[in-house]
Every structure is written in structure tokens, then in C-alpha cells.
Amino acid sequence: MASPISSASEPGASRRWSALAGVYAFGCGAVTALVLSAVLRVFAQVVGLPESFPVPLLAAPALLVGGVVWWALVERRATYTYPAGIGYGALTALLTGVVWTAWFLVVWSVDLLAAGPAPLLVGLVFALTTLAGTLIGPPMIFVRRRYAGG
């Protein structure tokens, strides 16, 4: 088995692990969206997504965001540590939430997002999502460290 340091210098291995991290983040997002589908169907209606197919669409940004964040925090710096994994999960969840908030702003405008208790609710959702995101990083880091050969 190759050491994590030696495989980090291989660009192909870093790209594969980053792509895998994106797929993993998408999978985690899809499972979460499936579990919360009753609540998320309302959000899907509000932002104009098809009601029959909301789960994969809601998780879709995590596919790209997860891969990019993994590359930036873990692969590029060859930091195969659990704190880096926690950062990957938290930042992936947070940035995926930012993507959907931006889409909400495109559809509805800033006025609706700033009205009433909406800022408090958005802040609460971001906080809980980021906290939950910290749970997805350590398993990915474990697998990366275990199978470091790429």
C-alpha cells in the first residue's frame, strides 16, 4: 500500500479521490433529502423544481461542491487528517446551502428572504446543515487514508 503522501503527488489519484468525494457528498445529500422529503417538497415547489424528482435535484450541487472542496482542503494540501475531513463535510454542506439560497434569491428576490423570521430560519438551517455536514467527512478521510494508493 502506498503512503498517503506519495499518492498525493499523483495528479490522477487526486482527481479520482476528488471525484469520489463529490459522488459521496451527492449520495449523502440524496439520502438526507430522501429522509426529509416531506419538508423538502415544499422547498422544491417554492423554487420551481419538478415535484416528481426533487431528491436528486436537491442533492445535485453537492456533486460539484463536494469534489471541489475535497480537492481544496484535502488533496491539494495533502492533508489526510480528520479535522480536514470535518472541514470538508461542513464546508460542502454550507456551500451547497449557499447554492440553494442563491437560487431562491434568483426566483423570489432578496425582499422575501429578508422578510419576517426568514433570516432566523435561514441561519438556523445553515447552522444545522453545517453541523450535520461535519459527520460526512471523517468516513471519507478514513477511506482515503486506508486506500491511499488511489
Report yes or no: 91 and 69 within 8 Å, Cβ to Cβ: yes
Structural domain spans, the chain: 4-146
Residue 100 has pLDDT above 70, yes or no: yes
Give the integer Cα–Cα distance in Å for 89 and 86: 5
pTM of the predicted structure, to 2 decimals:
0.86
Q: What is the pLDDT of residues 43-82, one digit of tens each?
A: 888 888 887 777 888 899 999 999 999 999 999 999 999 9
Report the SS3 class of residue 105. helix
Residue 90 has pLDDT above 50, yes or no: yes
Provide the CB-side half-sphere exposure for 142 (13 A, CA): 5
